[in-house]
Amino acid sequence: MYIFVNKSILHMFKIIVSTIPMFVCAFWCIVLLSEYKSHNKAKIFLGFYMFVAFLLYLGHAAYFNHEYQFYGFWENIYLFCSLSVYPLYFIYIKLISRKTSLKLKDFWVLLPSVFISLFSFVLYFSMSPQETKIFLEDILYQTSYSQNFKLTPLLTLQIFKLRLFEVIFFIQIIFVVYFGRKHIIEYNKKIRDYYSNTEGKTLQQFNYLLYIFIATSFASTVVSILGKSFFTHSTWLLLIPAILFAALLFIIGYLGFKQEFTFTTFVEDLNKDAIKDLLDKNDSQVDYNELTQRKLLTELNELLEEKEIYKKRDLRITEVSMLLNTNRTYISQIINENMQTNFSDLINGYRINCAKNLLTDHTKKTFGLSEIAEMSGFSSDSSFYRIFRDKEGVSPGDFRKKNCNGIQHTTINEKNIELRKNSIF
């Protein structure tokens, strides 16, 4: 009786473990697709991605719980889903980093998954019952450990199909990681060259998505090399990839849900600023001579040092270009090439210097960090704290204490910001 109960508990535990990633995908699929009213295409597409991932992990659950008949058929769908999740994630990366809408040609990366799935269906329906039994038990599950079964042409093709699947899967990971990272880097550069305040636009969540993307790719490669049958012998072995993939999928879903700013938002801001791509392209071809460059650099320095335009919290490069009576492409080029930086870092450098002067000014010792942040042009306390710490290596509060000749004056606002710093980072 004890052994029977123990086996029942272990079996139930195995079912729970094997379905964890599936339910994580189902949760985010529902949450993200419920955002359809917000017209956020990236979230809706990520919801579709989670639906495909749900079908994939449904196949995983069936396999690990030895649902032979169900998995025998579902394996054809499983192959499609398994070869689709990375290309779909790549399309999602394109949608948040360089596309305002998707076209049919964007889905060409799904062709290998469609081909393998159709090929698999043809083989499945062409096999005899005996061949199907051998395919399930000896090839997929490797349970009989028999070398005496007859390897028919159809079974040979099934083995070839599985090897081809592994090769395509590995190539996909390399392709998606390389080009996905490239798209994100290019997007980040555009954002830093356009906005002075990049908080919530690129510096945090996009980087996290990239790291998660690489981690998921590595974990998928390891599981693919070991093979699913490696994890069928022990529930505890199965628990490792189940928890890992569930955690990664949850973070992907969470960050995708929180990410409101995308390339579409960026294009909308460009349109609001009345920026015409054609105008930029034409102006960018103008051959500005060295004298003109020096003149613009001088005028730019005057705007920053005398007029202190960096104190405008939501300053964009288009506003600077209009003040200098030129186009944003050329101003961005001057900042990148002549100053060896980007627009965001340039403006925040001036803001940091302003904040440092205020923090060490004894006449401003009663000012809290929130007031210092606002006076310097930062959009929020968290942005001020993060950028200051990145540039100076210490928090604004610690900087003030070290540079005020021993005078320690901490306002209520300063205390609140210092207490929040651990939760922010």
Query: Do 29 and 54 form a contact (C-beta atoms < 8 A)?
Result: yes
Total-model pTM: 0.82
Shortest CA distance to 258 belongs to which of 39, 43, 1, 424?
43
What are the tens digits of pLDDT across the range 306-354? 999 999 988 999 999 889 888 888 899 899 988 899 999 999 999 999 9
- What is the fold of 14-269? Rhopdopsin 7-helix transmembrane proteins (1.20.1070)
Residues 6+ apart with CB under 8 A from 74: 58, 59, 62
Rounded Cα gap, residues 371 and 366, in angstroms:
10
Q: Confirm if 14 and 238 have CB atoms less than 8 A apart.
A: yes
Q: For residue 13, how many other CB atoms are within 10 A of its CB? A: 14
Token look-up 């190539």 returns 171
Contact 28, 257 (CB under 8 A): yes
When the candidates are 3.40.50.2300, 3.90.850.10, 1.10.10.60, 1.20.140.10, the CATH number that belongs to 345-425 is: 1.10.10.60
The three-point CA angle 46-49-55 to 5° equals 150
Measure the CA–CA gap between 80 and 83, rounded to whole angstroms: 5
> Which tokens hold the place of 29?
């699929």
CB 17 within 8 A of CB 237: no
Q: What's the pLDDT at 227?
A: 62
Cα separations in angstroms, 182 against 14, 99, 127 = 40, 14, 44
The domain locations on the chain are 14-269, 345-425
Tokens for 99, please give them. Answer: 């596309």
Token pair in block for residue 279:
């105008």
- The conformational region for residue 302 under phi > 0 = left, psi -120 to 50 = alpha, else beta, is alpha
91, 107 Cβ separation under 8 angstroms = yes
Tokens 């004894």 correspond to 362
Q: How many CB atoms lie within 10 A of CB 399?
A: 18
DSSP string, 165-192: HHHHHHHHHHHHHHHHHHHHHHHHHHHH
Contacts of residue 250, defined as CB under 8 A and 6 or more positions apart, other chains included, come to 24, 28
Token pair of 213 as six digits = 């993307």
Closest by CA to 342, choosing from 379, 316, 308, is 316
293: part of which helix (H) or strand (E)? Answer: helix 290-305
Contact 224, 345 (CB under 8 A): no
Q: pLDDT digits over 244-263, tens only?
A: 889 889 989 998 998 888 88
Q: What angle do CA 37, 47, 87 make, to 5 degrees?
A: 135
Residue 200 buriedness (CB in 10 A; 0-12 / 13-18 / 19+):
middle
Phi-psi category of 340—alpha, beta or left, where left has phi over 0 and alpha has psi -120 to 50? left
Q: CA–CA separation, 18 vs 65, rounded Å?
A: 8
pLDDT value at residue 128: 93
Write the CA distances from 40 to 29, 101, 207, integer angstroms: 14, 11, 20
- CATH topology identical between 14-269 and 345-425: no
Low-confidence ranges of the chain (pLDDT < 50): 1-5, 145, 203, 275-286, 406-425
Residue for token pair 């290596």: 393
